Structure 1
Amino acid sequence: MEYDNLEFPEAIEELARTLGLEVPREESAGQQQQRRQSADLYDLMQQASLHYQSELKRHSQAIDYLKQRGLSGSTAKDYGIGFVPESWDYLIKRLGKNDRTQQQLESAGMLIRNDSGRIYDRFRNRIMFPIRDPRGKTIAFGGRVMGEGEPKYLNSPETPIFHKGRELYGLYEAKRHNKTLEKIVVVEGYMDVVMLAQHGVRYAVASLGTACTADHIQRLFRLVDDVLFCFDGDRAGRDAAWRALNNCLPALQNGKQVRFLFLPEGEDPDSMVQSEGKEAFEQRLAQQSQPLSEYLIDRLKAQCDTQSIDGISRYAALAKPLLEQIQADTFKRLLTEELARAVQRPVDQLFGQGGLNAPPPTQGNTTQKKPPKAQLSITPPRLVIAALLAQPSLAQTVTDEDLALVASLDERAVPFILELFQLLQQHPQLNTAALLDRYRDTPFDSALMELASYEFQAADKIAIEFQDAFSNLLKRARKQRRQTLIQRPLSTLSDAEKSFLKQFKD
């Protein structure tokens, strides 16, 4: 159910607001306090946005910059674009006049406090793009430098009212200008969104300094059936597209469509729509974009020699973890069949009997037993790696203390295991395919491909096998450390080392 293109909870609140009613809530005292605090932050962010818009009118260099970029005054007004001067305390002087409001501005990500306790404005000398939630409330900002400078874009941090993995720049404006949205185009930058809108393409949004997440896709699929990603044609654009595809897979739904368009290298949606206009750009979207399935297959085939047995094996190993993320049964079955058809192999030969929930073969004796598959020689270190490849989230279950102990283990695989843990803990969004892609064409490539094909006893037992293997590493690390310590004079041992030895009883 939607009202004015709002999702259900927001629709109820919007209807109540127009009728002058208060939505009844069952809230704890803590929830009531949190709601009041959020209301204060919304108010401060709106005030900040109005100040920035006012400053834009007074600074000719900012107006000239936007004009040079081709942006009209009406578009800037429509999107609430503003400017913040070169000042360390612009917002503090206007909104942070006491400790309470300074703390609120800090909580909203608008002020920064250094180690010595001094506070200052986060944004200085930038074009300011307000980020609005589905109700039109300003919840964050993106600031762009004029000309040279780093970072080119500076975004608000995560705050109590802003979660960049959920919000999309321009979504509020797209819904406001379209009574019925049929499709949405996802682009990379704020200027792409506003310039497309200026030329009549009023259904573009942008993710906020991060790859489009499954939450983003689910939100878009609640509004439209067709989502199209439009990226620059350079390496960075193609890498961003692949990350978006990986994040799309768990959110795919039967009957929904995801497509990808790559612009000519050196072009972006901003420059493209200015040079060719709305009609040609929309024709490009319609005629040159690829369905997700086609893009996925092309990307995998480009990484493999599909004329060789080894290449086919690699192709299947890369495809399998991608397929396993898909919950939409019809789409998953059709994609499985298309992946097999693309390399002219039967589904069961490529992915095993049944082919990841694809229909089983109907010809021949389906009850005939297959020859047993040769098992991969597995050791505890290799099993740890194989489990992390199969379920990268397992990296979050291990403590820093245990990792430090394993780091002392003198075994060949340990440095790589530690590297893998660090990578997955810093980038928890990485999945199997993304991991394999990161190590492509490295000395670890072939070994990881082999471990990615390891067959665990059962999918729901991977975590147990991982814990057993990691416990084995810990046990060996403790034993090795004990042997090292008992060879040293007792007087040279620290209290922590003596305490460690006390754990062992002969």
Structure 2
Amino acid sequence: MIPQSFIQDLLSRVDIVDIIERDLPLKRAGANHHACCPFHNEKTPSFSVSQTKQFYYCFGCGAHGSAVGWLMEYSGLGFVEAVTELASAVGMTVPSVVDEDRVADKHKELPELMLGAAQHYRQQLKQSPTAVAYLKQRGLTGEIAARYGLGYAPDSWQNLSGVLQYDSADALDTGLVIESDSGRRYDRFRDRIMFPIQNMRGAIIGFGGRVLPRDRASGDSPETAGDAAQPKYMNSPETPLFEKGRELYGLFQARRAVRSAGRVLVVEGYMDVVALAQHGIEYAVATLGTATTPMHVQKLLQQSDNVVFCFDGDEAGRRAAWRALQNCLAQLIDGKEIDFLFLPQGEDPDSFVRKHGAAEFEAGFASAMPLLSFLVRELSSEVKLQSEEGRAKLLRDAKPLVRQISAPMLGLMLRKRLAGLGGISLAELDALYQIKSTVQLRAPGRSPRKRPSVVRTLIELLLFEGELARFADSKEIDSAANLCLPDIDSTELRVLRDLLGFLESDAHRPNVAAVAEYFRGEETGRWLADFGSSVFAWEEKKLGQSGLESEFQDAWTQFLERVREAGIDQLHAKNRTEGWNDDDKARYRRLQQRRARTTVPAE
């Protein structure tokens, strides 16, 4: 792994404002910078960047992070890639990385080989009148072909000899070369229009190939048997660079159009993506030879608040739509919309937009079916709602689907709809589904705003100003581990312990950006994400260092007093049931005599 000391040093040298402004114009407002959030659609800016804390946070969708996090979320880079890019910008060299989950050093040549193959295929396209004629026949211009890097793989067995060494391990790792049972190596893609697949950084990680529609002569090699029956479309296999369950074709090119249109359109093939872009619909992406996965859905919802899946109107299209729906349920987020658009039977996006144009295609969005409506319609079509048995089957079939939904408002809306169809109350449905209802009836009027707990206040202050750790002692939190502390959440207490322990271990008192990177991928890091907005809230208070120290010491004193009182209560309870031993008596005297300390002397 990359040493934490290197990451902290790196974050102290980069300026997050400069990094973000490469992609997103920021406007200064007071101490911070603001913009409309690039991760969800909005008209009023809620995306804030703190230059002093080197941290960004969106008050609309909760997106947050350091400069490393920005490159990972906005540009789609992996952790190591993001760190490497930042280090390069400030002239630092990343220490050698050993991580089995990442691309090993032995694969470091693959990106260059993939780029070389793409350049070769593009050059071959220029030299193939047949391939160029086919693209023109499909209505594609040279401009669109160049934008998506389209190429052509000639009908020969080792066409990439100028790009790679066929006898090398890298040749197989690219996925471009196949080895037969007899040990002969030859090209996977032959006589195909080639579609480079790029990651969010723009690096080529795989290819899709569409066979040219003509009779192909079979070769005289034994490995060619059945070659004429190869599928019309073919994708790269899984490789060290390419995992089709994570990637979406065309997303790199579509990002700006997605933000401008306020939606991302998901289609089934890369020819659909390119054809739609040719007609001005540039916000389309495609899955790559696999059904939509939960990872796809997560990535799509990061790009836009509105995801529209487009499928053919035939039975196969509806089955594909249902599989996509099932993989969406656990990823649903209140405030984000997933719709399903079904084209007329016999049409796909490519054929439809060529026949009817972009305006008529986009007009179809008005009739797209929301995910929950599609779910209810499909389940209802399988039963007879007029009978008790049919309604019972509907509720039974819906149960495993409903229980996947964690979005509270969407889950509630669906359960109310199902309860109505089933002829039972919402409370009865929740009991059947073993769901604890979150609906509470409140009397009219505004409830007083609940003050944050003392532990939450301590976490917020430590995130905002790590130097405050010198006024606390993590050992005090350890002593509270087995106590019953009213109004103190055990998870928050553990997060405070982890945060304070990290800050105590580093003499430089890392800022919130370094904290975010230290706990990246851990449960503590996920909990700390909820505190992102507090960094800006404390900044707006402008308390100064002495004011912050006073706030922290007051909160720490309150915490210690809670611990002291809980310890005494615990001893009283034990005395009532089994009596005290000598250690208990000594502990009781200490707690009675002890006054909560205001500070712990700094070293």
* TM-score above 0.5: yes
2:333 and 2:385 mapped to 1: Cα distance?
Answer: 29
Deviations 1:43-68 (A, max 9, x none): 10110011001111100111111111
1:138 aligns with 2:204: yes
* Structure with higher RCO (Cα < 8 A, 6+ apart): 2
Query: Conserved in 2, the CA contact under 8 Å of 1:323 and 1:356?
Result: no
The equivalent position to 2:372 in structure 1, one of 288, 293, 298, is: 293
Among residues 54, 63, 79, which one is paired with 2:123 in the alignment?
A: 54
Asked if residue 16 in structure 1 is aligned to residue 96 in structure 2, the reply is no
Per the alignment, residue 98 of structure 2 pairs with 28
Conserved? CA contact 2:385–2:421, under 8 Å = no
8 Å Cα contact 2:75/2:201 also seen in 1: yes
Q: What code does the residue aligned with 1:125 have? A: D
Q: When the two structures are superposed, what TM-score results if normalisation uses the length of structure 2?
A: 0.56
Instruction: Specify which of 160, 164, 169 is matched with residue 96 of structure 1.
Output: 164
In 1, Cα distance between the equivalents of 2:78 and 2:438?
40
- Distance in 2 (CA, whole Å) between partners of 1:39 and 1:153 is 28
Which region of structure 1 is more displaced relative to structure 2, 247-256 or 54-63? 247-256
Q: Quote the Cα distance in structure 1 between the aligned partners of 2:99 and 2:369.
A: 51
Tell me by how many angstroms 1:353 deviates.
5.2
Residue of structure 2 in register with 1:249 after alignment: 329
Q: Which amino acid aligns with 1:24?
A: V
Task: Name the SS of the counterpart of 1:219 in structure 2.
Answer: helix
Contact 1:184 1:204 in 2 (8 A): yes
Q: Point out where structure 1 has 5 or more consecutive residues left out of the alignment.
A: 363-506
Whose Rg is larger? Answer: 2
Which of residues 383, 389, 403 in structure 2 aligns to 1:324?
A: 403
* Residues 179 and 186 in structure 2, CA contact (< 8 A), matched pair in contact too: yes
Structure 2 CA distance for aligned equivalents of residues 14 and 160 of structure 1: 19
Residue 156 (structure 1) aligns with:
236
- C-alpha displacement of 1:167: 0.2
1:189 corresponds, among 269, 279, 300, to: 269
Question: Deviation at 1:23?
Answer: 6.3
> Does the 8 A contact of 1:89 with 1:120 survive in 2?
yes
In the other structure, the counterpart of 2:313 is 233
Q: Secondary structure at the match of 2:97?
A: coil
Q: Distance in 2 between matches of 1:357 and 1:334?
A: 15
Quick check: 1:348–1:360 contact (8 Å CA) kept in 2? no
> What is the CA–CA distance in structure 2 between the aligned matches of 1:254 and 1:222, rounded to whole Å?
13
Tell me the matched-pair count: 357
Q: Does residue 1:82 correspond to 2:151, yes or no? A: yes
Shift of 1:25: 5.1
After superposition, what is the alpha-carbon deviation per residue over 1:457-501, rounded to whole angstroms, capped at 9, x for unaligned? xxxxxxxxxxxxxxxxxxxxxxxxxxxxxxxxxxxxxxxxxxxxx
Q: C-alpha offsets along residues 206-226 of structure 1, whole Å, 9 cap, x if unaligned? A: 000111110011111122111
Q: Distance in 2 between matches of 1:12 and 1:113?
A: 35
Partner letter of residue 99 of structure 1? D
- Please tell me the root mean square deviation across aligned C-alpha atoms, in Å: 2.6
**Deviation of residue 124 (structure 1)?**
0.7
Distance 1:328 1:105 in 2: 45
Q: Deviations over 1:286-323 (max 9, x none)?
A: x1101101000000000111111111111011100001
Find out whether 1:223 has 2:303 as its counterpart.
Answer: yes
TM-score, with length taken from structure 1: 0.66
What's the CA shift string for 1:389-419, capped at 9, x where partnerless? xxxxxxxxxxxxxxxxxxxxxxxxxxxxxxx
The aligned counterpart of 1:380 is none
Which amino acid is 1:139 matched to?
I
Q: Secondary structure at the match of 1:352?
A: helix
> Equivalent residue for 2:173?
107
Counterpart selection for 1:172 from 249, 252, 256: 252
- Distance (Å, rounded) in 2 between the aligned partners of 1:262 and 1:310: 31
Q: Residues 119 and 8 from structure 1, CA distance in 2 versus in 1: closer, same or farther, beyond 3 angstroms?
A: closer
| Pairing partner for 1:271 from 351, 355, 369 | 351
**Taking every aligned residue pair, what percent have the same amino acid on both sides?**
43
CA change 1:55–1:354 in 2 (3 A) is closer
Q: 1:248 and 1:354 mapped to 2: Cα distance?
A: 20
Is 1:314 aligned to residue 393 of structure 2? Answer: yes
Q: Secondary structure at the match of 1:90?
A: coil
Kindly provide the CA deviation profile for residues 194-251 of structure 1, in whole angstroms up to 9, marking residues without a partner as x. Answer: 1111111111000001111100111111221111101010111111000000011111
In the alignment, which residue of structure 1 is the partner of 2:185?
A: 119
| One-letter identity of the residue aligned with 1:96 | L
Alpha-carbon contact 1:175-1:181 (below 8 Å) kept: no
- Once structures 1 and 2 are overlaid, which stretch shifts more, 190-199 or 145-154? 145-154
What's the offset of the Cα at 1:86?
Answer: 0.7
Q: C-alpha distance in 2, partners of 1:177/1:304?
A: 42
Q: Which moved more, 1:21-30 or 1:261-270?
A: 21-30
Aligned 8 A contact 2:165 2:171 in 1: no
Q: For the residues of structure 2 that align with 1:87 and 1:331, how far apart are their CA atoms?
A: 54
Q: Secondary structure at the match of 1:335?
A: helix
Unaligned runs of 5+ in 2: 1-63, 65-69, 215-228, 442-603
Do 2:107 and 2:170's aligned partners in 1 also have CA atoms closer than 8 Å? no
* Partner-residue secondary structure (3-state), 2:289: coil
Does structure 1 conserve the Cα–Cα contact (< 8 Å) formed by 2:310 and 2:342? yes
CA change 1:355–1:280 in 2 (3 A) is farther
Shift of 1:343: 4.3
1:94-137 CA deviation, whole Å, 9 max, x = no partner?
Answer: 2233633xx20201211111122111111111111110000001
> What's 2:284 paired with?
204
- Over 6 Å off, 4+ runs: 29-32
